[in-house]
Amino acid sequence: MTTLRLGDTAPDFTQDSNEGPIAFHAWAGDSWVVLFSHPADFTPVCTTELGRTAALSGEFARRGVKPIAVSVDPVDKHREWIGDINDTQDTTVDFPILADVDRKVAGLYDLIHPNASTTATVRSVFIIDPKKVIRTTITYPASTGRNFDEILRVIDSLQLTDSHKVATPVNWRDGDDVVILPSLQDPAEIAQRFPKGYKAVRPYLRITPQPNK
């Protein structure tokens, strides 16, 4: 069993999908990727999740993110299901759904949790950066639909904190104040990086407007 941790390289694979064979790393290119798994096709929660992902296609594109889903069902079943998703969720699925019939991807990404189910994949999310590094993992039970607004929020935080020496506080959303990293202590660099100034609640807790806004 593979246990993937933050900072690990996302495993590469080639697998069939509703859009044809996917060589994962080549398909990802220099984009961010959200890889997320589904217990089965033609299930109610999954249908709403894939519909929401399709509805958010513009939001993902604006952030340079490619979504890709995975289920252990075959391609022909995926294609039939997509018709239901588009019809019931009033959208158009425009991203690949991997047909992981041989459970290759499920094995690489530890998506089968036997104490939950020996056949269905759990609802896992992997946020992967352009260097193919796993930056976030979230796992939900089969009965609980994911919050895609939270997934976008995490991507916003990762992209911001990669380019600025800040961290994002509790319940942060894009445009809110952020905190200056405690490791940044040089006054001149702080003034250069944060010309709007900051409020020092404590020496280690310095709040500043989001620097790229």
Asked if residue 49 lies in contact with residue 81, where contact means CB atoms within 8 angstroms, the answer is no
Catalytic residue, chosen from 33, 46, 85, 155, is 46
pLDDT mean over 99-126: 78
**For residue 76, pLDDT beyond 70:** yes
The tens digit of pLDDT for each residue in 14-72 reads 999 999 999 999 999 999 999 999 888 999 999 999 999 999 999 999 999 999 999 98
Domain ranges of the chain: 14-146, 164-208
70 is catalytic: no
What is the Cα 198 distance to its own chain's centre? 31
How far is residue 175 from each of residues 48, 80, 153, 157, 213, measured CA to CA in Å? 28, 40, 11, 10, 7
What is the rounded distance in angstroms from the CA atom of residue 44 to the CA atom of residue 91? Answer: 16
The tens digit of pLDDT for each residue in 158-208 reads 999 999 999 999 999 999 999 999 999 999 999 999 999 999 999 999 999
Which CATH class, in words, describes the domain spanning 14-146? alpha beta
Q: Retrieve residue 144's tokens.
A: 């609980």
Position 118 scores a pLDDT of: 46
The tens digit of pLDDT for each residue in 128-152 reads 999 999 999 999 888 899 999 999 9
